[in-house]
């Protein structure tokens, strides 16, 4: 396999931009109409994803160790989309047809053979990882909503029960799909430690124009069906740590940190825990009543609510990083930060400035900013 | 503006899509973000169209060249590959139309939600200010009344007693009126919210009714 020739031909094709994945998916859907159902109505985001994945694979084609890790993850991830081994040859045929089309007169039998071999390897690694994963867990979990509560016009909490057990660590998240928005998956953190009754709690913040968050905040009721994917995320607490714990939550970033508080409450000797919960206005502290109840019951837990844009609030006022800095230096703590992107970035910068070692700072960026 | 250089300097739709503009300096007005975004979307669409046209022309050239060079045995009519490429193009156009509809609907819903949020913040802060004013005035009146009662003579003449009784009656009425005002105002706000929710529900129902092709099990 001539790696350089492969890369050059991909660069020639990539020059055509969005026309390339557009051709690929049309070719795939014409040859195998049944595959259309695996994708959402709008394919715009999907096309970007395909191009990025292809670019990533081609760039790393001579760095097989890294590539294998990436491909295995990709293979496992594709299970929840309904991808099965039979789909891989179909994708391969359409990929080669697309490359042939855009390479034009430069498409030689040697180049075709190189691509065929490369795709064969990619598919083999992905299928093997998917098969291995299939031996240990379902591709997705069916779930039913048990209760849904609108806490503010744009913040809701809901509880669901999965039909099969789903093992996860407190602080992790799962991707969620609703039949109201088929094939659109978004990640949400569990707000509780694992329970025996297979129920899980979620906190959702409505993103303006957000495809799924609008359904989950305002369009959900008890009895609604959802699907959830396998748990992911590294915002997890190691019970053996000799340090006290600092939890900093912005808005619904509270969910994974509340799960960690629950986890610590089950330990024989809980460390001291400080939980800072911040929002723009007091009505954004949607779960404060429950947190205060927990603080009353757990002598090791201190809850500090903080509000940034509400002069009438009778508690800590200011941006979360400032408020946290006012309460200590936290150098001897394990810090966990979750919430909107600007809040997570500013808080990490503040903690670093206070001298908290990076190895003690754990974050989960929710990928949006407060309107 | 930053564009990752790639593909020997050619601009691709992907690059236009991921372009970033630096934020304007403090106190200076920068470009309107919405406009920049709309412009990028336009440029992207334009580029895609141009590239598709170019690909189509290139294929036509290939086909004609083959025909001239005498490679084509079946002179008139299409070969099966041509038919497939045509089908791919038709499907691609249909998909792009669908993508645009979804993007437009998403933009519209985002703008609606942003407007609603802004309006809600305005209404809430107005209600806040109003409630504060009512409280302040009531507090001031009560303080004045208390001061008058304290500094007044211990023994009251019948006239003074009458005056104070009248003031007390006035204060009661005053407080009643304010409470009624405040209640009416809050109820109006509540009605607003309820109407908003009703409108939202009926528009969702209407939107669903417009989508008869949705399988029944996808409806809640």
Which ipTM score applies to this complex? 0.80
3-state secondary structure of A289: helix
Which among A341, A351, A298 is positioned nearest to A321, based on CA atoms?
A351
Pairwise CB contact (< 8 Å): B14 & A182: no
Is B111 in the A-facing interface, judged by CB distances under 8 Å?
yes
Q: Report pLDDT for B1.
A: 46
Contacts of B192 in chain A (CB under 8 A): none
Is A44 in the B-facing interface, judged by CB distances under 8 Å?
yes
Give the max Cα distance, chain B.
Answer: 126
| pLDDT of residue B210 exceeding 50 | yes
| pLDDT of residue B4 exceeding 50 | no
Tokens of A260: 């960690």
Report A:100-119 residues touching B (Cβ under 8 A). 101-102, 104-105
Query: What letter would DSSP give residue A358?
Result: G
Query: Which of A42, A208, A221 is the closest to B99 by Cβ?
Result: A42
Tokens of A269: 């000797």
Between the alpha carbon of residue A167 and those of residues A72, A163, A195, A201, the distances in Å are 20, 13, 10, 14
- Residue that wins the pLDDT comparison between B48 and A233: A233
Contacts of B89 in chain A (CB under 8 A): 26
Contacts of B6 in chain A (CB under 8 A): 14
The answer to whether the Cα torsion of B196, B198, B202, B204 is positive or negative is positive
Contacts of B82 in chain A (CB under 8 A): none
**Contact between residue A107 and residue A83 where contact means Cβ atoms under 8 Å apart:** no
**Contact between residue A61 and residue A67 where contact means Cβ atoms under 8 Å apart:** yes
Q: Report pLDDT for A137.
A: 92
| pLDDT of residue B155 exceeding 70 | no
Report B:118-137 residues touching A (Cβ under 8 A). 120, 128
Q: Report pLDDT for A191.
A: 98
3-state secondary structure of A354: coil
Q: Report pLDDT for B29.
A: 61
Size of interface A-B (CB pairs under 8 A): 100
- Closest CA in chain B for residue A8: B7
Tokens of B123: 């209404």
Strand arrangement of the beta sheet that strand A199-205 belongs to: A186-189, A173-177, A225-228, A141-152, A155-162, A199-205
| pLDDT confidence bin for B73, thresholds 50/70/90 | low
Q: Range with the lowest mean pLDDT among A101-105, A307-311, B4-8, B199-203?
A: B4-8
**Beta strands of chain A (E only): which ranges?**
141-152, 155-162, 173-177, 186-189, 199-205, 225-228, 244-250, 273-279, 301-307, 316-317, 333-339, 361-365
3-state secondary structure of A223: coil
**Whole-angstrom distance, CA of residue A286 vs CA of residue A300:** 23
**Contact between residue B11 and residue B5 where contact means Cβ atoms under 8 Å apart:** no
Distance from CA of B93 to the nearest CA of A (A): 9
Pairwise CB contact (< 8 Å): B117 & A43: no
| pLDDT confidence bin for B217, thresholds 50/70/90 | very low
| pLDDT of residue B49 exceeding 90 | no
- Closest CA in chain B for residue A9: B7
Which among B102, B25, B93, B109 is positioned nearest to B56, based on CA atoms?
B93
Contacts of A206 in chain B (CB under 8 A): 113
Whole-prediction pTM = 0.74
Task: Determine the average pLDDT of the residues in B47-55.
Answer: 77
Tokens of B17: 């899509």
Residue numbers of chain A with a pLDDT score lower than 50: none
| pLDDT confidence bin for B216, thresholds 50/70/90 | very low
**Whole-angstrom distance, CA of residue A254 vs CA of residue A262:** 12
Mean of the per-residue pLDDT values of chain B: 74
**Contact between residue A245 and residue A334 where contact means Cβ atoms under 8 Å apart:** yes
For B6, residues 6+ apart whose C-beta sits below 8 A from its C-beta are: A14, B12, B15
- Closest CA in chain A for residue B220: A224
Q: Report pLDDT for A312.
A: 79
Share of chain B above pLDDT 70, in %: 73
Between the alpha carbon of residue A322 and those of residues A79, A163, A285, A341, the distances in Å are 43, 44, 18, 17
**Contact between residue B153 and residue B164 where contact means Cβ atoms under 8 Å apart:** no
Exposure of B119 in the CB half-sphere (CA atoms within 13 A): 11
Which among A160, A168, A184, A185 is positioned nearest to A233, based on CA atoms?
A168
Tokens of A284: 């954004």
3-state secondary structure of A357: coil
**Whole-angstrom distance, CA of residue B27 vs CA of residue B73:** 71
Is B51 in the A-facing interface, judged by CB distances under 8 Å?
yes
Neighbours of B108 (CB within 10 A): 11
**Whole-angstrom distance, CA of residue A195 vs CA of residue A218:** 26
């Amino acid at each position: 396999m001539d790696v350089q020739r492969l890369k050059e031909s991909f660069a020639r094709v990539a020059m055509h931009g969005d026309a390339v994945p557009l051709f690929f998916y049309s070719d795939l859907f014409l040859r195998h109409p049944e595959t259309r159902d695996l994708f959402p109505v709008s394919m715009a985001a999907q096309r970007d994803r395909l191009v990025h994945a292809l670019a990533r694979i081609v760039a790393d084609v001579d760095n097989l160790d890294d590539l294998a890790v990436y491909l295995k993850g990709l293979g496992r991830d594709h299970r929840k989309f309904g991808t099965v081994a039979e789909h891989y040859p179909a994708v391969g045929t359409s990929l080669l047809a697309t490359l042939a089309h855009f390479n034009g007169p430069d498409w030689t039998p040697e180049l075709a053979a190189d691509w065929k071999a490369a795709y064969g390897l990619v598919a083999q690694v992905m299928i093997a990882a998917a098969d291995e994963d299939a031996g240990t867990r379902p591709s997705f979990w069916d779930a039913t909503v048990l209760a849904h509560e609108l806490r503010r016009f744009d913040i809701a909490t809901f509880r669901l029960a999965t039909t099969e057990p789903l093992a996860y660590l407190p602080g992790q998240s799962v991707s969620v799909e609703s039949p109201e928005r088929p094939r659109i998956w978004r990640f949400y953190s569990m707000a509780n430690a694992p329970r025996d009754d297979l129920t899980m709690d979620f906190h959702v913040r409505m993103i303006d124009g957000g495809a799924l968050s609008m359904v989950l905040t305002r369009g959900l009721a008890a009895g609604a069906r959802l699907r959830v994917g396998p748990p992911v995320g590294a915002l997890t607490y190691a019970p053996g740590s000799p340090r006290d714990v600092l939890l900093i939550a912005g808005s619904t970033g509270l969910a994974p940190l509340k799960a960690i508080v629950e986890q610590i409450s089950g330990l024989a000797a809980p460390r001291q825990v400080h939980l800072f919960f911040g929002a723009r206005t007091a009505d954004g502290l949607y779960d404060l009543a429950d947190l205060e109840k927990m603080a009353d019951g757990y002598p090791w837990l201190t809850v500090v609510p903080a509000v940034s844009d509400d002069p009438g609030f009778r508690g800590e006022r200011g941006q979360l990083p400032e408020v946290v800095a006012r309460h200590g230096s936290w150098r001897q703590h394990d810090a966990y930060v979750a919430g909107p992107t600007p809040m997570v970035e500013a808080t990490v910068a503040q903690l670093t400035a206070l001298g908290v070692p990076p190895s003690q700072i754990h974050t989960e960026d929710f990928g949006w900013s407060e309107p | 503006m930053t564009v990752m250089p790639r593909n020997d300097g050619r601009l691709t739709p992907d690059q236009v899509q991921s372009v970033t503009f630096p934020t304007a300096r403090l106190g200076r007005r920068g470009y309107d973000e919405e406009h920049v975004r709309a412009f990028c979307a336009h440029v992207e669409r334009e580029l895609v169209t141009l590239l598709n046209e170019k690909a189509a022309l290139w294929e036509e050239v290939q086909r004609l060249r083959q025909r001239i060079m005498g490679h084509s045995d079946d002179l008139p009519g299409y070969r099966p590959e041509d038919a497939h490429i045509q089908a791919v193009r038709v499907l691609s156009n249909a998909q792009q139309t669908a993508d645009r509809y979804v993007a437009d609907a998403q933009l519209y819903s985002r703008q609606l939600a942003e407007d609603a949020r802004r309006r809600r913040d305005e209404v809430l802060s107005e209600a806040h200010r109003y409630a504060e004013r009512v409280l302040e005035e009531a507090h001031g009146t009560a303080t004045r009344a208390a001061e008058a009662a304290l500094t007044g003579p211990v023994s009251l003449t019948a006239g003074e007693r009458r005056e104070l009784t009248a003031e007390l009656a006035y204060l009661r009425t005053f407080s009643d009126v304010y409470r009624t005002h405040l209640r009416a105002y809050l109820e109006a706000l509540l009605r607003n919210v309820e109407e908003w929710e009703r409108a939202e529900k009926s528009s969702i129902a209407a939107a669903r009714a417009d989508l008869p092709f949705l399988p029944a099990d996808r409806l809640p």
